[in-house]
Structure 1
């Protein structure tokens, strides 16, 4: 973190430094999250320097409007940030503004007025038959106890072969096997039989 690269009022830079230290010490955020929040606030203060035509001060942060934050997010979008990155930018800025608000320096309402961008919903990618077979056979070799290896292989086979959720597979009882042993009764989410 090189504060010399950020153009902002010294008191604002000091509050930012204190906030980052509090995230590291008190909240124990991961180093990657700390790096991201540091970068996000640095980019935001750099943006404000241009947006406000001068180095931002705590007073400028206090008078931020939702439109100012939206302008920053729009600028990041133009530079190629996706929805997940924009959501993280907003989370970092909200955290910083709430910190300043707890110190009695600003009102963080502007950040709360903005919704995070919608995250794209991606479906899980299924394993190929070969990958599933590798998982089941590898799991069977991990245990010295043959019954544990057989149990784990059976559960993995049920998960993959029948498309069961783990809770469904672990909830099976002998009564769930039909008389001909050709099908299972599964109690799914919401108590639905399938």
Structure 2
């Protein structure tokens, strides 16, 4: 709540912290107490990252794991229970420089075409087409598209959506006519 992290980030940090404490149990020869955590050195953190790498963790996973540990140590440092300097001194693994590959225009049309949907119910196909059209045409994140309510696109004449996204930030996104038509078709077929 203090840092306004998404529920998914909180869940990932919790999982990473649990894995770190499990590692420390073996590393320290027993369940770690606050004194073992307070005495952590960069070598201990590197050992954890090496163990995660050997278990198949990639650079992004290791970086997120280190961020979760740093977050825990900063939390403990604010309460006078640990020193976070060792974690801060450790550099995160180098991240690969790759970008997601967008769909081609023809592939996107095929994905959102009702004929291309394998759904038993026509309204499900219309829903999927509307969501995918909003994602592709308005640049929404999946969580933003799924969080829309009926009042957000009340009429086919709405050309702009006010979206509250990551970090509680609000932005205006355009709604293309094709997206408005897809939403209207979904509304028409929705039981």
Whether TM exceeds 0.5 here: the answer is yes
1:69-94 alpha-carbon deviations (Å, 9 max, x no partner): 00001111111111111011000000
1:78 to 2:54 alignment: yes
- Which entry has the higher C-alpha Rg, 1 or 2? 1
TM-score (norm 2): 0.55
Alignment correspondent of 1:93? 69
Structure 2 counterparts to residues 147-158 of structure 1, below 5 A: none
* 2:83 aligned counterpart, secondary structure: coil
Aligned residue number for residue 10 of structure 2: 34
The CA deviation string for residues 32-84 of structure 1, in whole angstroms up to 9 with x for no partner, is: 11111111111111111110111111111111110000000111111111111
- Name the structure 1 match of 2:88: 112
Confirm or deny that 1:122 pairs with 2:98: yes
Higher relative contact order (CA 8 A, sep 6+): 2
Q: Could you tell me which runs of 5 or more consecutive residues in structure 2 were left unpaired when the two chains were aligned.
A: 112-132, 138-154, 158-175, 178-191
Give the RMSD, CA atoms, in angstroms. Answer: 3.3
Q: Structure 1 length as normaliser, TM-score?
A: 0.54
Partner Cα separation in structure 2 for residue 26 and residue 61 of structure 1: 23
**Which residue is equivalent to 2:39?**
63
Distance 1:124 1:97 in 2: 32
Q: Distance in 1 between matches of 2:54 and 2:65?
A: 14
Distance 1:129 1:42, change over 3 A: closer
Residue pairs, 1:103-182, within 5 angstroms: 103-128=79-104, 130-131=106-107
Q: 1:27 to 1:67 in 2, by over 3 A?
A: same
